[in-house]
């Protein structure tokens, strides 16, 4: 399984994470799926109502608005993202505990090192297993073959 993210969307997520410091920020990703490729076509930058550097939550109203927008655009939810201001881009114990959907992409942007690091995971909460997925950051992400005319 792979995720393709436009560089412009990656930069939006990065700016969102930096502007939220010292707290974690969060959001949702939506797009289309073709075979094993998840094409991110829209990023939803959301507030972290917890305003905390160690965890985040997503406001249910904002999440519902994003889901409605996804549906209106013909997109599917692909997962979520959040930042780790001072820890590596790997799921924390809390991230694993709160991962309710094993088919979702859980993306983490770490600002802890010299350079930001974005990694995405599939998380199976019941067994506490995580599997990193490949992330491709591209200048332009063409529509998958199934959605081209």
User: pLDDT at position 1, please?
Assistant: 85
In terms of Cα–Cα distance, which of 76, 83, 78 is closest to 118? Answer: 83
Indicate the pTM of the whole model.
Answer: 0.90
In whole angstroms, how far apart are CA 97 and each of 92, 107, 140, 148? Answer: 9, 15, 35, 39
Computed on alpha carbons and rounded to an integer, the radius of gyration of the chain in Å comes to 15
pLDDT of residue 125: 85
Q: What is the pLDDT of residue 145?
A: 57
pLDDT at 149: 46
DSSP 51-93: --SS-----HHHHHHHHHHHHHHT-EEEEEEEEESSS-SS--H
| Tens-place pLDDT, residues 35-58 | 999 999 999 999 999 999 999 999
CA-CA distance, 144 to 125, in Å (whole number)? Answer: 30
Q: Report CA-CA distances (Å) from 120 to 49, 105, 123.
A: 23, 6, 10
pLDDT of residue 52: 93
In SS3 terms, 4-43 reads as: EEEHHHHHHHHHHHHHCCCCCCEEEEEEEEECCEEEEEEE
Q: Cα–Cα distance between 121 and 139 in angstroms, integer? A: 22
Ranges in the chain, pLDDT < 70? 140-149
pLDDT score for 139: 87
Fold of 2-141: Cytidine Deaminase; domain 2 (3.40.140)
Indicate the domain borders of the chain: 2-141
């Amino acid at each position: 399984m792979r995720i393709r993210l436009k560089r412009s969307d990656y930069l939006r997520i990065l700016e969102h994470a930096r502007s939220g410091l010292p707290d974690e920020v969060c959001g949702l990703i939506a797009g289309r799926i073709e075979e094993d490729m998840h094409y991110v076509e829209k990023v939803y930058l959301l507030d972290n109502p917890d305003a905390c550097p160690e965890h985040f939550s997503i406001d249910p109203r904002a999440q519902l608005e994003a889901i409605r927008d996804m549906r209106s655009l013909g997109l599917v939810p692909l997962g979520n993202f959040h930042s780790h201001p001072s820890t590596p881009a790997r799921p924390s114990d809390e991230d694993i505990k709160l991962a309710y959907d094993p088919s979702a992409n859980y993306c983490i942007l770490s600002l802890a090192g010299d350079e930001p690091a974005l990694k995405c995971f599939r998380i199976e909460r019941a067994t506490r297993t995580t599997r990193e997925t490949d992330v491709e950051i591209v200048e332009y992400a063409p529509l998958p073959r199934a959605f081209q005319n």
